[in-house]
Structure 1
Amino acid sequence: MAMNNNTWAIILGGSDGIGLACAKRLAKGGFNLLIVHRDRRARGEELSAINSELISNGIATHWINADAALPATIDRALYELNEVDKNAKVSCLLHSIARGNVKPLANATDTLTRQDLHVTADQMAFCLLDWVKALHQGGHFTPEAAVIALTSEGSQRAIPQYAAVGMAKAALEALCRSIALEYAPFGIRCNSVQPGVCLTNSFYRIPGHEEIEAITRKRNPAGRLTTPEDVAGVVHFLTTSEARWINGANIPVDGGERIA
Structure 2
Amino acid sequence: MYEKRKFSDSWAIILGGSSGFGLATVEKLAEYGMNSTVVYRETAMQERSLRLKMEALAEKQNVSIELFNINALDTAARHGLIEKLTEDKHKKGAVRLLLHSIARGNLKPLMPQTGMNVDSIETISVEDIRYTTYAMSTSLLDWARELLAAGLFQKDGRIIGLTSEGAHKHWDGYGAVSIAKSSLESLSTYMAVELGRFGIKTNLIQAGITETPSLNKIPGSEKLIQVAKERNPLGRVTQTTDVANVIYLLCTDEAGWINGSVIHVDGGEHCR
Per the normalisation by structure 1, the TM-score is 0.96
* 1:50 corresponds to: 53
* 2:85 corresponds to: 81
Matched, 1:192 2:197: no
Distance 1:223 1:3 in 2: 34
Q: 1:100 aligns with which of 99, 105, 111?
A: 105
How much identity, in percent, do the aligned residues show? 40
Q: 2:153 aligns with which of 141, 164, 171?
A: 141
* 2:32 corresponds to: 29
Residue-by-residue CA offset, 1:98-155 (whole Å, 9 max, x unaligned) = 1111101111431000010011001001110001110111111101000000111111
Distance 1:105 1:231 in 2: 30
Give the partner amino acid of 2:159: V
* Aligned CA distance change for structure 1 residues 152 and 53 (closer, same or farther; 3 Å): farther
For the residue of structure 2 that corresponds to 1:145, the secondary structure is strand
Q: CA deviation at 1:230?
A: 0.2
Q: What runs of 5+ residues in structure 1 fail to find an aligned partner?
A: none
Distance 1:236 1:128 in 2: 19
* 1:38 corresponds to: 41
Taking only aligned residues, the RMSD between alpha carbons, in angstroms, comes to: 1.3
Q: 2:15 aligns with which of 8, 12, 30?
A: 12
For the residue of structure 2 that corresponds to 1:64, the secondary structure is strand
Distance 1:237 1:77 in 2: 27
**Partners of 1:34 and 1:81 within 8 A in 2:** no
Give the partner amino acid of 1:94: L
* 2:167 corresponds to: 155
For the residue of structure 2 that corresponds to 1:224, the secondary structure is coil
* 1:63 corresponds to: 67
* 2:133 corresponds to: 121
Aligned length: 258
Distance 1:14 1:53 in 2: 16
Give the partner amino acid of 1:21: A
Higher alpha-carbon Rg = 2
Distance 1:96 1:133 in 2: 17
Q: What stretches of structure 1 move > 3 A for 4+ residues in a row?
A: none
**Partners of 1:144 and 1:187 within 8 A in 2:** yes
Distance 2:158 2:253 in 1: 10
Q: CA deviation at 1:238?
A: 0.5
Give the partner amino acid of 2:40: H
Q: What runs of 5+ residues in structure 2 fail to find an aligned partner?
A: none
Distance 1:149 1:234 in 2: 12
Q: CA deviation at 1:4?
A: 3.8
